[in-house]
Structure 1
Amino acid sequence: MSTLTFRRHAAAEVPDLLDALCDVYADAYGHVPGEDSTVKTEAFRDRADAALDASNYELVTAWDSGGIVGFVFGYSLRPERGWWNGLNPEPAPGFIDETGDRTVVLAEIEVRSAWQGRGVGHRLHDEFLGGRGEERATLASNPAAAETHALYQGWGWRRVGVVPGRPGSYYTEYVRFVLPLRPGTAIA
């Protein structure tokens, strides 16, 4: 494997990288027969662009000599976001309390298909989370993505439940995972 470099980017830098991020995203998912990949990529572009206004947004990219091979981005979870609305099973008291700097959302992590299975995603994950100040991280996943869930759990994430998708969401429900970023952080 060639030597990768990792770069951190603030929200102001991302518009210049958005086309490249969309290319990585499209490549990471590949072509699915019967699916218009431009629809999925444009939906990603909309999510990625909207995330730039989030509190404490950060992007981490992985580069080789040919350009960006993967990326991860996220932001601090705002109390009014409703991230935990409808969480089933019902969590312990205080679990869903957000302060605006308690939890970081790992919103996207994508790696070009040629680089998948080579540890790039895990390195991006660790690079991103290692630079965060929140006490815990959360992410949402497709409920049918059992292999992805196993990967996350292997990286230390804990499945905490399922929430219903919002109107217009890609899935009707999402699995929520949590990872403590500080020793002693209670998960449930």
Structure 2
Amino acid sequence: MTTAPAIELRAFTDLSTVRGHVLDVYAEARAPLLHTANYSVNAFGERLDRHSAEPGFLAILAYDGEAPVGYAYGNRIEDGDRYWQRMTPAPSEAYTAVPAAALKEIGVRTAWRGTGVARRIHDAFLASRDEPHVTLMVNEAAGEGRVHALYCSWGYTGIGHSQPSPVSPRLTVMIRPTT
């Protein structure tokens, strides 16, 4: 990893002011996958809009000057949330008895990968949460397994699988304490 660049992290609870920035970074970060239905910018935009209306929404964006270079966003999920309902096997009550933070998406522009920006965004997201656990879903095949391995190195453990939609790949559900 190279030395972390000087960036500014900004937090947003209102998506309307930064929606375009998130979509721009997403389009570059997921460029190799944009031809598939689940990863198209339109499909992502629909998910982003839906997630931003859910309780506890927070987006953290990284900026180099005024240029967005990365983002993460998520919200709070509770027992009975469709996030948990789609998971197999069913999650342990240890995770669902109290609300958890769900990190729904994280993305970094290609030129900024390997610089520590993703970890800084991730950690800023967690620092703002009061839930005891954070969960995310990852396509284990993404980046030939490098993304899954990265999340493992950040302390996440796999607890099951989910296929959020018919066009989505089967994803591994991972969890870790927020602190």
Task: Supply the distance in 1 between the matched residues of 2:74 and 2:164 (Cα, whole angstroms).
Answer: 19
Any stretches of 5+ residues in structure 2 without a counterpart? none
Task: Supply the distance in 1 between the matched residues of 2:100 and 2:108 (Cα, whole angstroms).
Answer: 24
Structure 1 position 53, deviation (Å): 1.2
* Structure 1 equivalent of residue 139 of structure 2: 142
* Structure 2 equivalent of residue 24 of structure 1: 25
Amino acid at match of 1:180: P
Tell me: CA distance 1:169–1:76, structure 2 relative to 1, closer, same or farther (3 Å). farther
Is 1:170 equivalent to 2:173 in the alignment?
no
Amino acid at match of 2:168: Y
How many aligned positions are there? Answer: 174
- The higher radius of gyration belongs to 1
Q: Contact 1:103/1:134 (CA < 8 Å) preserved in 2?
A: yes
* Structure 2 equivalent of residue 5 of structure 1: 8
Structure 1 position 156, deviation (Å): 0.8
Across the aligned residues of Structure 1 and Structure 2, the Cα RMSD in angstroms comes to 2.4
CA distances 1:109-139 after superposition (whole Å, capped 9, x unpaired)? 0101111111110110011101110000000
Tell me: CA distance 1:97–1:2, structure 2 relative to 1, closer, same or farther (3 Å). closer
State the identity as a percent.
28
Partner of 2:136, secondary structure, is strand
TM-score by length of 2: 0.86
Task: Supply the distance in 2 between the matched residues of 1:78 and 1:91 (Cα, whole angstroms).
Answer: 12
Q: Contact 2:84/2:90 (CA < 8 Å) preserved in 1?
A: no
Tell me: CA distance 1:166–1:125, structure 2 relative to 1, closer, same or farther (3 Å). closer
TM-score by length of 1: 0.82
Task: Supply the distance in 2 between the matched residues of 1:15 and 1:91 (Cα, whole angstroms).
Answer: 33
Amino acid at match of 1:137: V
Is 1:114 equivalent to 2:111 in the alignment?
yes
Any stretches of 5+ residues in structure 1 without a counterpart? 183-188
